[in-house]
Chain A
Amino acid sequence: MYNPDQILSNNSGSKVPPLEGFREAYILHLADTTLILSQRNSEWCGHGPVLEQDIAITNISLDLLGQSRNFYQYAAQLINDSNRVGGEVTEDKLAYLRKEREFKNLLLVEQQNGDWGQTILRQYLFSQYQYLLFEKLQQSSDEQLAAIAAKSLKETKYHVRWSSEWVIRLGDGTEESHSRMQQAITELWPYTGEMFEPADYEIAFGIDLLSIKNSWDEKVKNIFDEAMLPIPPLGGGGAVFMQSGGKEGRHTEQLGYIITELQYMQRTYPDSEW
């Protein structure tokens, strides 16, 4: 039977041939998520609210880009080793020649930068999750993945510290900054649920998202409390409805524009060295 979902997210008609194994899919999910957040953060470079913070957000963007390259390179290696593909797959082919429906990044990271408050809240919500996730992944039996997670964890620890300090500073700063942070929570909270909703490849890979969720809830609550910011209701009738789909390649309208820019050169000048 014709199943567009399967065809579109399985790279059919793409320059990068089918690569589905759960392991590859999961590594690509990690790669795409870090790349797209790096791309978003890099939009601040040269436009930050104060020079020191311009440098800090660019630094985080660089860290995430480095992480994504590690994941893409690993995914490329797995795909090449599997011999399922004619021609060599590279980090750049994976980042620059896959389409909207093939990207597996979290919806949270593709959301617009908005104001500084929205950017640092997005960073905090993600980094807090990433930190807990990488703590687990560094124990993974997949040695390569464990090594990347362990190496990235040091960076992520700093991202959590930096972004949580900003959440607190802005939440408990002025009336204006407080209300902007509340607005940012309203904008971003609906994209937090997806982090803990396992995709097939996460289940197959044995990622325990439930235990991560419990720690995440607790840590986020502590930071929000210190920031004098209310946590949206977690359950019951008032709970925020959560968006999902990014992990399976169903995104918000933001992603198309991001990858249009990201991939412009490779699409315009195919098969060139840079």
Chain B
Amino acid sequence: MAIPDFEKIFQGKIDEEIKIEPKDWMPDAYRKTNLRQISQHAHSEIVGMLPEGNWISRAPSLKRKAILLAKVQDEAGHGLYLYSAAETLGMNRDEMINDLHSGKAKYSSIFNYPTLTWADMGAVGWLVDGAAILNQVMLCRTSYGPYARAMVRICKEESFHQRQGFESLLVLSRGTDEQKAMCQDAINRWWWPSLMMFGPKDSESTNSDQSMKWKIKRKTNDELRQQFVDMIAEQIKVLGMKLPDDKLKWNEERKHYDFGEINWDEFWQVVKGNGPCNKQRLEARRKAHEDGAWVREAAVAYASKKNAAKTKAA
């Protein structure tokens, strides 16, 4: 009897653009890579609520407050879809959250930077969500079905957030001198960390080749980063602001913008936990979880009491 070559069937599906579903056979490394990536993505949504949540109480108008609250709430929703997608790979949400709190699981380093002024809300929307979207649009076509479907929903909301962020900066860019300065300052602080969101250079990236072959990723870090630079370098003209990079220049031959070197030492330091807010972000998540323990216990206790009563009645 011929033993089916699972690996070959699996790669065949990938090559023919058939989505891999939870009950399909998949190589262990494929499962692990997806689980790592999806849970990391979920954690990023949840930790990402903190820097923006920081300005909800101080939003400068009722309209801006409503927009910001709704945006941060959307991120919580994205976290939910993503945790659900990750659970299909065999790990439950509690385990994932424990890994986040123990430092075993990572989240996007961008959220380890502080939001210092109101203009940061605009800059985060425009640059950070803008960078995230390029990655997420690609992920709408990722090979793992539940992840791809979660991404389709998320992308719709994210592009809305990016427009809102840009629009909020546009108002500042047309405002008082102080508002313009606030706008430029936020762009200066968020530009380089946004470029870092695409990860290490292709030549340094350890996970890229296999992920491309499995179509978890479809574009390399450097390709996405270039796409982002090209997009933002044009959009910033509308704001009448400048990107903090002397080397940024259109290259007619490449048909792309050239740009300066990222500070990779800073990148690795933040990844290792030494960014300006790494400790505060994790601490805030742990505290929320610990303070909520009695609530979750009570909810479970109440539900089991009710179930017992139901069983008895039946």
Contacts and interface: CB of A to CB of B under 8 A. Distances in A.
B291 interface: yes
Contact of B176 (A53, A115, A266, A269): A269
Interface in A236-274: 261-262, 264-266, 269, 272-274
A75 interface: no
Contacts of A53: 295
Contacts, number: 142
Contact of A177 (B175, B176, B291, B295): B295
Nearest to A39: B57
Interface string B37-56: 00000000010011001001
Contacts of A46: 46, 49-50, 53, 72, 76, 284, 288
A72 B63 CA distance: 12
Contacts of B291: 47, 49, 115-116
Interface string B10-29: 00000000000000000000
Interface string A48-69: 1111111100110110011011
A176 B66 contact: no
Contacts of A272: 60, 175-176, 178-179
B301 A173 contact: yes
Contacts of B262: none
A174 B64 contact: no
Contact of A92 (B50, B62, B294): B62
Interface string B93-107: 000000000000000
A45 interface: yes
A35 B293 CA distance: 29
Nearest to B49: A46
Contact of B46 (A49, A51, A180): A51
B298 A58 contact: no
Interface in A126-185: 168-170, 172-174, 176-177, 180
B307 to A, nearest CB: 13
B91 interface: no
Interface of A is mostly: helix
B59 interface: yes
Contacts of B56: 42-43, 45
B267 interface: no
A181 to B, nearest CB: 9
B179 A170 contact: no
B190 to A, nearest CB: 19
A39 B57 CA distance: 6
A49 B288 contact: yes
A174 B57 contact: no
A125 B294 CA distance: 22
A65 B62 contact: yes
A95 interface: yes
A96 to B, nearest CB: 8
Nearest to A35: B62
B192 interface: no
Nearest to B52: A46
B193 interface: no
A79 to B, nearest CB: 16
Contact of B292 (A50, A68, A169): A50
Contacts of B168: 274
A50 B288 CA distance: 8
B302 interface: yes
Contacts of A58: 69, 72-73, 76
B32 interface: no
Interface centre among A45, A54, A59, A116 (most CB of B within 10 A): A45
B292 A49 contact: yes
A65 B62 CA distance: 8
Contacts of A92: 61-62
A197 interface: no
A172 to B, nearest CB: 6
Interface string B69-93: 1101100110110010000000000
A202 interface: no
B171 interface: yes
A62 B83 CA distance: 24
Interface string B279-314: 000001001110111111111011001000000000
A172 B308 CA distance: 14
B153 interface: no
B66 A65 contact: yes
A265 B168 CA distance: 15
Given A39-B57, A51-B46, A116 B62 contact: no
21 contacts: A45-B53, A46-B46, A48-B288, A49-B291, A49-B296, A50-B292, A50-B299, A55-B73, A58-B69, A59-B73, A62-B70, A65-B65, A91-B62, A115-B291, A168-B302, A173-B301, A177-B294, A177-B298, A265-B59, A269-B179, A273-B174
Given A116-B292, A117-B295, 20 more contacts: A45-B53, A45-B56, A46-B46, A46-B50, A46-B76, A48-B288, A49-B291, A49-B293, A49-B296, A50-B295, A92-B62, A168-B302, A169-B298, A172-B302, A176-B294, A176-B298, A265-B58, A269-B176, A269-B178, A274-B61
